[in-house]
Structure 1
């Protein structure tokens, strides 16, 4: 039968890139269905047109479905729903609120209840071959030490509501493994493409770049804290390629994968690499992290520096992700996580070119 690929989270950057990789892997065969909020329909149509052109696809091979994961049945009309239940073979659930500063109610409504609705809908599909769910490695919350792919342990606390709601959502998807061939993807902190530097927004590691760039007038910049902990950054191309391979591999069914850097760098090393690329300077001295975080309690300073205060929690967290299962199952694919150092030049170049474009910057509250 013809494959039917259903995606939530379109026209987001990762969903967009994942569709392209799925089509490449399957030689452009199969039909694509994307669930899109009505407010995003115009942007979705622009992205759809670009993909159709790039792959030489017929117009009816890529369909936009307006809906909303926070609604029962995903808000899909009855006629379209009947068609999808017959046609869809692979579901990729990416829609979520990823902001570290997200309010609790919004995070639960989208990340937890939205995933509950997607799960129920997936169970109704007649020809489902794989359900791939995008979680996060940070479902570990404040647990530290070595963290394994086969663990899903509720921590004593979470660093933010994003982590907590992604944990609760993954619990729901984990329970579905008994009924549906599920693959759970847990990325580290996602950065731009390792070769082009392309990304869709400057969050995560780009908060450090914002900080460095906006204080570049100073004669020198200090380290933030001791910087002895590691921060696990992974380029989007690794996430896309690995997810696609594991989705269409039989060995991926029923498994959870840490798509994380097996050799991550310390905060101090990342900070130094970014500063050298952006300013051609080395950091001097250090400012206690507690002092830096206290300063970010002031909204005017947060907005000036372009840094969410929640991001600093990851500079002191001592968790380490074991990715043995992912590395083992990817061994024959030729897919591996690129070294951050090899992609820093492209990352910094893309940032410099686009740092003044408002749509790349996060609205710091």
Structure 2
């Protein structure tokens, strides 16, 4: 009997890319996407030519994911793999919105997957940044170490992962990506956020002397989306991945200062010459006119100056058996920058500055 994959978070970028990876590896499979009604038109456009896909309007913040009882009964007997990616990823998200989607939404998904009689694996997308403000080495099996958090995104993803870990009698795999960027082969991405704020900031001051922001002596963990989807699809079926958590992070990350310099040199042909303290930059970005002019979120600065060192030895061990490895940032950064240069004025890719 063919597998039925159910995914939340469609038509989001990672979910869309994961779908294509899963379909390539399991051509006989069928797919069900739980789509928020506000995203249905976009989802329909993306799947217009797909014959093994069903789109279900739903909402993870509601009981049974907002699905009618007849649909729930049908899915209970047919879903074999469930991938939960739907979340609010905005670093500046208000607490109430983040809690509703990331925590309550995950609780509802957890209760739903407990009903699935044919379930082979529940794959939950957490984030490496459930580590919050921890410093030093963070291991994949660790979660609650009394840490504080930089924003509501981190704290709510932490609470959500705790609830997934607490599930009994559900074969699960927890994925903790680092900062996800575009495809390492094409540079393609859906949004210019995360590390792309560096590009947006540098683009805004391209005619001025270029400063470093903070010391930047911490590791800055960037991973391309194609590595994330390949690794996730492999871990979803690997027996060694059952009931374990995996850091999908760069095992040899560059320091934030080096990432910033490489982007500046690639984008502008300039090497930064002086340093603006990180706290000064954060204070300046409290002013909305400055944020708008520099085209950057204030919350993004923290990730240039404070990141943990993520141990990914478990992921490397299991993925190594499938020949999957994270590529070196320096090798694919030119493609990321080129894609940004070609699409920098595409408003659909530019997250608004609050």
1:211 to 1:129, Cα distance in 2 relative to 1, 3 A: same
Instruction: Please state if 1:344 is matched with 2:333.
Output: yes
Indicate which of 275, 284, 287 corresponds to 1:298: 287
Q: 2:33 aligns to what?
A: 34
Which position in structure 1 is the counterpart of 2:6?
Answer: 6
Residue 129 of structure 1: how far off its partner (Å): 0.3
- Matched residue, 1:22: 22
Partner SS, residue 186 of structure 1: strand
Q: Return structure 1 stretches of 4+ with deviation > 4 angstroms.
A: none
> Which residue of 1 is the match for residue 254 of structure 2?
265
Contact 1:9 1:96 in 2 (8 A): yes
Task: String of CA shifts for 1:280-323, please: whole Å, max 9, x gaps.
Answer: 11111111111111110111111221211111112221510000
Query: When the two structures are aligned, how many residues end up with a matched partner?
Result: 354
Q: Does 1:255 align with 2:244?
A: yes
Deviations 1:218-263 (A, max 9, x none): 1x21111222111101111100000000101111111100000010
* Contact 1:142-1:155 within 8 A present in 2 as well: no
- The CA distance in 2 between the partners of 1:123 and 1:161, in whole Å, is 27
Q: CA–CA distance in 1 between the matches of 2:210 and 2:305?
A: 20
2:150 to 159, 165, 170: 159
Alignment of 1:106-117 (within 5 A): 106-117=97-108
2:163 to 159, 172, 180: 172
Q: Does 1:69 align with 2:68?
A: no
Unaligned runs of 5+ in 2: none
Q: Does 1:148 pair with 2:134? A: no
- Cα distance in 2 for residues equivalent to 1:96 and 1:80: 23
* SS of the residue 2:286 aligns to: coil
Larger deviation: 30-39 or 150-159? 150-159
Does the 8 Å CA contact 2:122/2:172 hold for their aligned counterparts? yes
SS in 1 for 2:54: strand
TM-score by length of structure 1 reads: 0.95
SS of the aligned residue for 1:7 comes to strand
User: What is the CA deviation profile of residues 40-73 of structure 1, one whole-angstrom value per residue up to 9, with x for unaligned ones?
Assistant: 11110111125x2xxxxxx3x2100110000001
CA contact (8 A) 2:34 2:57 kept: yes
Structure 2 residue corresponding to 1:92, chosen from 83, 95, 118: 83
Contact kept, 8 Å, 1:140 with 1:155, in 2: the verdict is no
> What is aligned with 1:199?
189
Q: What is the RMSD computed on CA atoms of the aligned residues?
A: 1.0
Deviation, structure 1 residue 39: 1.3
Separation (CA, whole Å) in 1 of partners of 2:55 and 2:93: 27
Deviations 1:146-189 (A, max 9, x none): 1000111143310000000000000000011x311000000001
Written as runs of structure 1 = structure 2, the 5 A alignment for 1:251-330 is 251-330=240-319
Q: State how far apart, in whole Å, the 2-side matches of 1:156 and 1:248 are.
A: 32
Q: Secondary structure at the match of 2:48?
A: helix
Match of 2:203 in 1: 213
Contact kept? 1:5, 1:31, Cα under 8 Å: yes
TM-score (norm 2): 0.98
More off after superposition, 305-314 vs 255-264 = 305-314
How far the C-alpha of 1:144 sits from its partner, in A, is 1.1
**CA drift at 1:25:** 1.1
Output the CA distance in 1 between the equivalents of 2:35 and 2:328.
34
- Greater Cα offset, 312-321 or 119-128: 312-321
Name the residue aligned to 1:55: none
Of 177, 180, 187, which residue of structure 2 is paired with 1:187? 177
Q: Distance in 2 between matches of 1:295 and 1:336?
A: 39
Q: Is the contact between residue 220 and residue 307 of structure 2 (CA under 8 Å) also seen in structure 1?
A: no
CA contact (8 A) 2:131 2:147 kept: no
Tell me how far apart the structure 2 counterparts of residues 318 and 214 of structure 1 sit (CA, whole Å): 25
How far apart, in 2, do the equivalents of 1:187 and 1:24 lie? Answer: 22
Q: Give, in whole Å, the separation in 1 of the partners of 2:299 and 2:214.
A: 15
**Unaligned regions of 5+ residues in structure 1, if any?**
53-58
